[in-house]
Amino acid sequence: MSQISVSVKWGKEKFAGLEVNTSDPPQVFQAQLFGLTGVPPERQKIMAKGKTLKDDSWEGFAMKSGMTLLLMGSADTLPTVPAQQTKFVEDVKEGDTVSVNHPAGLSNLGNTCYMNATVQCLKNVPELQDGLNNFNGQLGFDSIMTNPSEAITIALRDLYKLLDKVSSDAIPPVIFLQVLHSVFPQFAEKGEGGALQQQDANECWAQIMRLLQQKLPGQLASGTASNTGSLIDQYFGIDCKSVMKCDEAEDEPESTSSERLYQLSCFINQDVKYLHTGLRARLKENITKASPSLNRDASYTKASTITRLPGYLTIQFVRFFFKEKEKVNAKILKDVKFTMMLDVYDLCDKELKDKIKPMREKFKEKEDRDAEKKIVPKSKRVEKMDVDEKDKEVKTEPFSFPEDVGSNNSGYYELSAILTHRGRTSQSGHYVAFKRTKEDMWLMYDDDNVTPITTDEVMKLSGGGDWHCAYVLLYAPRKLIIDDDN
């Protein structure tokens, strides 16, 4: 017997249905309890029927499914009650400090800020959270290496559930980190002193998404009986069409290809001052390859257009380049401005442009109506205003095409999260997540420290110095609010 289910009593709390694999060393079980209770393994005393569990062996500790274990040990010091009364953002005056209720952060377990920032940014996609919540299964440590995509999916699901349950405290992501290290050994590399090395957050982002893609099923499209692809393909997949033309042989036929991306790249050079400029430059590039008509290497122009937009658009600033002499990924600190609202209409091919025009017209009509309302005298506007208007549920148009779940039907986006980096190389420095909330405010997730931040401060994350620079942007679909004329 290796996989059993037990309950653990810790003070007044009881955790039921914990899956324990006795073929793993006890340290794995201790790490699981650390993630649930915050009691570090060195403080844990696990007892059953008068026996105490050893740190390195199950010997002499008979475990049976359904039994209740007793955990003794204190968690890390709890935060004290603030001496001053909480102030809310709308009441803050210049020079005041702010203390507000906020979601939980993630403890840094030793250069794990890259992972924490990635996890926090992805949590700002409600459809991804729904997909994870609907995913069944329990984490079995013996199957991590045989089914890594399932292990990552379950571990992320369970971590998000913990984050949703805890308020204003930090969660130590021990289990998720262990799974990440087991599935991707490169993230478990240690330095000369034995401490974990810093890793590239965008690489972590891409690897997690790749495994989620293999496990999270897609949603049903309108009028279909079965889903197609995965949830990641639906909500993050970008389809592109590329036309390759030889610059040195006009008679050589053009070649056309298509590919699916999950991020757009914004390359940075001396001419790129704005995000949109970098995106356009990335879609038209010069390359050298073998020419079948010239029988030698020749210069080609590769022109790409987007044929399918996802609901959530991920953009990476290509800020790092490899320095051969120092053997490091050095950072480009250049200031590249981004926007809260993003329109990618001009990056699309003609067919997609025609397809998204009807929704864009609806946005334009809504803007015209809103502009007309502002012309109405204030007194008349007040008479028509419903007293409970602020409590009404805001209804929005679907942001996807009916036959293409998770797509974007307008080309309009709004900034939802930013993953930033401070430092000079991707394997050093510090990563932080900035997230937009439902109340249209921003929170900075600096590991376990979660604090409110203004939109003006967010816009200063565009680079230009040693402060945090935007590295990965996550744009959400801009939603069209339906007017309620009743």
Mind listing the pLDDT tens digit for each residue in 156-181? Answer: 999 999 999 876 678 999 999 989 99
Which pLDDT value is given to residue 486? 42
CA distance 471 to 450: 19
User: Beta 68-72 vs 45-48: how paired, if at all?
Assistant: antiparallel
462 or 390: which leads in pLDDT: 462
Asked whether residue 273 carries a pLDDT value surpassing 80, the answer given is yes
Sign of the Cα pseudo-torsion (22, 25, 26, 30, in order): negative
Nearest Cα to 286, choosing from 233, 241, 246?
246
pLDDT at residue 214, as a whole number: 95
What's the pLDDT at 223? 63
pLDDT at 327: 67
Q: Are 313 and 266 in contact (CB under 8 A)?
A: no
Mean of pLDDT values over 205-210: 98
Q: Which tokens is 173 given?
A: 């992501």
% the chain with pLDDT above 90: 55
Write down the pLDDT at residue 444: 97
Q: Report, as an integer, the average pLDDT of 378-403.
A: 69
Following DSSP, what letter does each residue of 34-64 receive, concatenated? HHHH---GGG-EEEETTEE--SS--TT----
Average pLDDT of the chain to the nearest whole number? 85
Q: What is the arithmetic mean of pLDDT over 370-399? A: 68
Catalytic residue among 121, 430, 468, 469: 430
CA distance 127 to 271: 37
Cβ neighbors of 115 (< 8 A, separation 6 or more) are: 173, 176, 177, 180, 187, 199, 201, 204
Query: 185 pLDDT exceeds 60?
Result: yes
pLDDT in tens, 213-224: 999 999 887 666
Alpha-carbon span 32 to 328, nearest angstrom = 35
Range 97-120 average pLDDT: 84
pLDDT confidence band for 78 (50 / 70 / 90) = very low
The reply to whether 246 belongs to the active site is no
pLDDT in tens, 447-458: 999 999 999 999
What percentage of the chain has pLDDT greater than the value 70?
86
Residue 82 has a pLDDT of: 34
Q: Is the pLDDT of residue 199 over 80?
A: yes
φ/ψ of residue 413, rounded to 5: -135, 160
pTM for this entry: 0.78
Find tokens 């995000």 and name the residue. Answer: 275
Question: Could you give the CA distance from residue 353 to residue 452 in angstroms, rounded to a whole number?
Answer: 38
How far apart are the C-alpha atoms of 122 and 204, rounded to whole Å? 12
Q: Give the alpha-carbon dihedral of 217, 220, 221, 224, to 10 degrees.
A: 120
pLDDT higher than threshold 70 for residue 232: yes
364-397 as b/e: b if 16+ CB within 10 A: eeeeeeeeeeeeeeeeeeeeeeeeeeeeeeeeee
CB 255, CB 246: distance < 8 Å: no
d(CA 14, CA 37): 10
Judge whether residue 4 has pLDDT over 90: no
The closest of 178, 125, 151 to 433, measured between CA atoms, is 125
Q: Which two three-digit tokens encode residue 84? A: 């001053």
Residue 206: how many other CB atoms lie within 10 Å? 16
- Quote the tokens at residue 102: 């906020």
CA–CA dist 151, 135 (Å, integer): 11
Select the more confidently predicted residue: 17 or 382: 17
Residue 262 contacts residue 209 (beta carbons within 8 Å):
yes
pLDDT tens digits, 110-159: 999 999 999 999 999 999 999 999 999 888 756 677 899 999 999 999 99
What string of DSSP letters covers 420-446?
A: EEESSBTTSSEEEEEEE-TTS-EEEEE
Q: For this structure, is 276 an active site residue?
A: no
CATH code for the structural domain at 102-222+229-347+392-486: 3.90.70.10
Confidence of residue 244 (pLDDT cuts 50, 70, 90): very high
Beta bridge partners of 412: 343
Q: For helices 174-183 and 113-122, what crossing angle results, to 10°? A: 100
Please identify which of the residues 113, 204, 348, 469 carries the catalytic annotation. Answer: 113
Confidence of residue 377 (pLDDT cuts 50, 70, 90): low
Of these ranges, 13-17, 49-53, 272-276, 331-335, the one predicted with the greatest mean pLDDT is: 272-276
Q: Which tokens is 7 given?
A: 């309950």
Are 56 and 25 in contact by the 8 Å Cβ rule? The answer is: yes
pLDDT attached to residue 220: 84
Tokens of 39: 């009691």
Q: Residue 301 — pLDDT band, cuts 50, 70, 90?
A: very high
Instruction: Say what the pLDDT of residue 95 is.
Output: 46
- Say if CB 306 and CB 344 are below 8 A apart: yes
Overall average pLDDT of the 376-382 stretch: 58
How far apart CA 71 and CA 45 sit, in angstroms, is: 6
3-state secondary structure of 467: coil
Confidence of residue 76 (pLDDT cuts 50, 70, 90): low
CATH code matching the domain that covers 1-73, chosen among 3.90.1200.10, 3.10.20.90, 3.40.50.300, 3.30.2010.30: 3.10.20.90
Say what the pLDDT of residue 86 is.
Answer: 34
pLDDT at 79: 35
Burial (Cβ within 10 Å: 0-12, 13-18, ≥19) of residue 131:
buried
Of the candidates 134, 141, 147, which has an alpha carbon nearest to the alpha carbon of residue 216? Answer: 134
Give the residue, 101 or 418, on which the prediction is more confident: 418
